[in-house]
Chain A
């Protein structure tokens, strides 16, 4: 069995595959054009995933536990990519979107600064999160979305600015 075949039949790969399928489904459900998920799934994430998993499996220093941790890191990377796609699509509504620094490693936390903080505009963001949380894997990969006013957001330590 080749390395690629080994990866593609591994539980880790199947796990990631189920996440990818869920994220693609989420976009279809959310009304996003198919192209977005297709780009994410076929052109980018899938190939990158195989490449990265292959490098981990071929690395003699990587232990099984370590592999599991790396697979989780990849899953979080993929979820973060989906959040970015959402933010770009809705960017006219956002003053800023920050992925915050956190002392918790097993979750993603974002601060959204809305241009107009209304229940309707909050709901546009929360319906995205709600769609994510309908997926079973969301329990294992929690995503937090906190709304903040601009002045507070400017004081926050962040790992990445999405908008």
Chain B
């Protein structure tokens, strides 16, 4: 199993463990773990399908993998990117420290966690190596870091 698949499963297991132990807490941390599950799946998928590493930072991944990016180095299905971006956005919000009312933040995170779960399920339909039939392998191209 690839390094990225291992990391992806680690993050999902972590999320599941927190969910089991603390079903009504730590929604923000669970969202971040689900996003990291997705990001490692994305990296694995891009390496396997296109022979490309899509970057170390979130911004680099947007430039390299977003189907609408002028500098993209992979040709992801737009639906796959939309699910990834929804998870990225949820994770960004989970790490946002500007909410003045913690109770509202936690209530929002509970809803976002449920949405993130659904988004990850949909994302996996694209990202699972055995099920990824929509894209063709391409030759490696230059990368953006």
Chain A interface (Cβ < 8 Å from any Cβ of B):
29, 100-104, 107, 109, 119, 122-123, 126-127, 129-131, 133-134, 138-139, 144-149, 152, 155-157
Residues from chain B with a CB closer than 8 A to the CB of A148 are 108, 111
> Size of chain B's interface in residues, with CB distance under 8 A?
28
The answer on a CB contact under 8 Å between A129 and B89 is: yes
* Nearest Cβ on chain B to A127's Cβ, whole angstroms: 8
The answer on a CB contact under 8 Å between B100 and A157 is: yes
The answer on a CB contact under 8 Å between A144 and B59 is: no
- Confirm or deny: B86 has a beta carbon within 8 angstroms of a beta carbon on chain A: yes
How many CB-defined contacts (below 8 Å) exist between A and B?
Answer: 71
List, sorted by A's number, 5 A–B pairs whose CB atoms are closer than 8 Å: A130-B68, A133-B62, A134-B70, A144-B96, A152-B108
Assembled-state Cα–Cα distance A144/B93 (Å) = 7
Which 3 A-B pairs give the minimum distances between C-beta atoms?
A102-B98, A104-B98, A146-B93
Given A101-B100, A126-B89, A144-B93, check contact A29 B68 (CB 8 Å): yes
The answer on a CB contact under 8 Å between B86 and A126 is: yes
Assembled-state Cα–Cα distance A24/B111 (Å) = 34
Given A123-B86, A126-B86, check contact A134 B100 (CB 8 Å): no
Residues from chain A with a CB closer than 8 A to the CB of B100 are 100-103, 157
Residues from chain B with a CB closer than 8 A to the CB of A122 are 86, 115
The answer on a CB contact under 8 Å between B89 and A103 is: no
Residues from chain B with a CB closer than 8 A to the CB of A145 are 89, 93
The answer on a CB contact under 8 Å between B104 and A126 is: no
List 5 other contacts, CB 8 Å, given A107-B98, A152-B104: A123-B86, A130-B68, A134-B62, A147-B115, A156-B104
